[in-house]
A and B are shown apart, each in its own frame.
Chain A
Amino acid sequence: METKNIMIVGVGGQGTLLTSRILGGITRKAGYDVKISEVHGMAQRGGSVVTYVRYGDKVAEPIVEEGQADVLIAFERLEALRYAHFLKKDGVMIVNDLRMDPMPVSIGAAQYPENIIENLKKKHQVISLDAQALAKEIGNARVFNTIIIGVAAKRMDFAKEDWLKVIEETVPQKTIEINTRAFEAGYALG
């Protein structure tokens, strides 16, 4: 199989690393070679973070480059826009409809772009959702990323049972139940 490229972008502290672990688990369960590249250290302190997941028969390069992503998962609108050019022509973008002002915007040195999702939709295939609000309904705002994984799962070729199994194996014991519900909610949307 030709190597598939997934990117997860967001703001340091939003849980991109947990998401990449789940994606690593599902691709491995299917027997693929997989490489995942992450950002640790300083950027995790509220900076722009990106995680690359590549899977296929044999993966060499651990990063996804511009114009190569099949799926781009963005946990925040501005980050979706920042990395939009990484998407393939027929790639799909899943965007959490959340605004988090970066410091240059907070202090008035820059403007947060208007109508990001509308503009992205003009060029790309975009699925947007307010995952935070959904997560709150489910009972914990922090599981928003598992909802997004659920949405993404609909666009990928792995069995639902396998996703649930991997989530069970990956998230902390106490949060399996709520993460499972979050995944189901996202899957229903996707």
Chain B
Amino acid sequence: MSKEVAGTTVVMLGNAAIARGAYEAGVKVSAAYPGTPSTEISENLVKYKDELYSEWSPNEKVATEVAIGASISGVRALVSMKHVGVNVASDPLYTISYSGVNGGLVLVAADDPGIYSSQNEQDSRMVARAAMVPVIEPSDSEEARMFIKRAFELSEQYDTPIMFRTTTRLAHSQGVVHLEERQQIPDKPYEKNIAKNVMMPGNAIKRHLVVEERLKKMAADAATLDINKVEYNDTKIGVITSGIPYQYVKEVLPNASVLKLGLVHPLPKTLIEEFASRVDTLYIVEELEPVIEEQVKSWGIKCIGKEIFTVQGEYSANMLRRAILKEEPVIEEAAQVPARPPILCPGCPHRSVYSVLKKLKIHASGDIGCYTLGAVAPLSVVDTTVCMGASISNLHGMEKAKGKDYIKNWVAVIGDSTFLHTGVNSLMNMVYNQATGTVIILDNSTTGMTGHQDHAATGKTLMGDTTYMINIYKLCKAMGIEHVYEVDAFDIEGLEKLIKEETQREEVSVIITKSQCALLKTFVPKGKCVVDVEKCKKCGLCMVSGCPAMHKGANGEAVIDETMCNGCGLCMKNCKFGAISLVPNQK
């Protein structure tokens, strides 16, 4: 690993550079819930745990409120999340915009154009505009480090939370970064200020005026703000852009004039008017929604934007070549090859639970996590996926709409981390409103999809401390649910019996299936499964659950890849001919 010493130059992931910048800015408190593409910010920030505090909170709303508390107390605070996390955090965000800050407060919103690892492609700048929160956007790792420091300064200067917007391409690209010392920022004194910090009607209505004034002032100042940069070259083509698309513009139009916005909300109107007047044709290049473009057009400035650029997916240099220069790059045709979609890993306990649901032909109201992959063939068990925690409330809604019998061949499936995120509220609602329904909590002791982060039920904090481990079983019991069960995720017979019984029960039932994620460092495989070719009847039953370590051999027999097999034994249990056995690992 590169040593992160001030004065040195290193290659850093965008997210690591954000963490480094926040550290250099003197941040003292950070909170987050893991979410691609934002997760590595907190994971990198905690490297500096001797000088700051960083936590995983159960969800983005809580994380934002933790950061707000820290800001009110007078220190610089960071909260980071993926774009859909901003929806969860929007309640405190819309109102802290009114109160403003004491210590600088920055919310990182990581958008996902192209939907690499999300359920939608929303543009967080729209949320920021609605919440009247300024937005800063970097275009590479070094800017990520520098701009987040400016974000904290501007937050304090204008008494406002700042949204720091990134995208997957920035978050997960590495670039050269020059490290600086951590600034020694003294804590600001806390002064009781009810008119500013207690948002009840009489106070809030006055603060709304303050917020409007603040944005106007910022917009006026933005014309000379150092992070808004004009590069005048050939004036035949002018481009207004920000973030990663700036890099594509530089690649395709190295001689064009460019207005690169570091502050993308509020916009520097006078600067844009001047820039527009000096170029012949003005393009606005921004991924996702026409946020800049619509404002510029509303001022009567002629420009070209989404008429020729898409609102979907990521941009690229070739895409700009086609759209602006009308050049068709000479490209060899791509080969027609089978897709390789993501799948549940070998040894994944979710596969075992899903194999039982598939056998019983039970529908699953799904949720957000690795187990969403249960919707993929050959399992195809998951019926719905909306957002974090929705599996349980969706199931509840179905029952209220169609009755208790309707729900008897449905379950909700939700991971342990997602359950603690927002699922717990939905379960409370089922109990309160006398629901019928079976909830399966797929407890693999981690937040899996985002790369194995701890949560409130793992017994470990982001800082590395051992802590109280919330007992999901007891939590469900404490809500008043009588029928709560813990079962080994690989006990397919026990699980089948339990699911059959509980789905018929006209009450709320919770089945907690327990087995560690096979990618956890502490996971110890039981051994490796091997096929006895003599006994194999080539029926394919062992492969119906879609284990990637298995494939059909040249003669149709089952083959298990020994380097991939994690020895879960599911294929062995599903073989009716005893052709598969588990060879235990040698101690």
Identify the A interface with B (CB < 8 A): 11-13, 20, 24-25, 28, 33-48, 59-63, 65-67, 78-79, 81-82, 84-85, 100-113, 123, 132, 141, 169-170
Q: How far is the CA of A169 from the CA of B339 in the complex (A)?
A: 36
Closest to A108 in B: B552
B169 touches A42 (CB 8 A): no
A78 touches B340 (CB 8 A): yes
List chain A residues, Cβ under 8 A from B370: 45
Given A43-B342, A141-B563; A106-B546 close (CB under 8 Å): yes
Give min CB distance, A166 to chain B, whole Å.
11
A113 touches B337 (CB 8 A): yes
Total residues of chain B contacting the partner, CB 8 A: 59
List chain A residues, Cβ under 8 A from B140: 35, 62
A107 touches B175 (CB 8 A): no
Given A28-B176, A104-B338, A112-B338; A66-B329 close (CB under 8 Å): yes
Residue in contact with B169 in the complex, picked from A33, A63, A81, CB distance below 8 Å: A63
Among A25, A62, A66, A141: residue with most chain B CB under 10 A: A62
B339 touches A43 (CB 8 A): no
- Is B428 among interface residues, defined by CB-CB distance under 8 A? no
Give min CB distance, A102 to chain B, whole Å.
4
- Is B237 among interface residues, defined by CB-CB distance under 8 A? no
Given A28-B11, A45-B370, A107-B543; A33-B340 close (CB under 8 Å): no
- Is B248 among interface residues, defined by CB-CB distance under 8 A? yes
Residue in contact with A34 in the complex, picked from B11, B330, B337, B344, CB distance below 8 Å: B11
List chain B residues, Cβ under 8 A from A84: 332, 335
B340 touches A106 (CB 8 A): no
- Is B548 among interface residues, defined by CB-CB distance under 8 A? yes
Residue in contact with A106 in the complex, picked from B117, B329, B551, CB distance below 8 Å: B551
Given A43-B117, A67-B332; A48-B377 close (CB under 8 Å): no
- Is B343 among interface residues, defined by CB-CB distance under 8 A? yes
B342 touches A45 (CB 8 A): yes
B550 touches A106 (CB 8 A): yes
Q: How far is the CA of A103 from the CA of B343 in the complex (A)?
A: 8
B116 touches A43 (CB 8 A): yes
Closest to B252 in A: A61
Given A33-B176, A85-B332; A41-B116 close (CB under 8 Å): yes
Give min CB distance, B138 to chain A, whole Å.
13
- Is B403 among interface residues, defined by CB-CB distance under 8 A? no
A82 touches B335 (CB 8 A): yes
Given A41-B117, A43-B117, A79-B340; A34-B172 close (CB under 8 Å): no
Given A35-B175, A63-B316, A103-B376; A46-B343 close (CB under 8 Å): yes
B169 touches A37 (CB 8 A): yes
| Chain B 147-181 interface residues, beta-carbon cutoff 8 Å to A | 169, 172-176
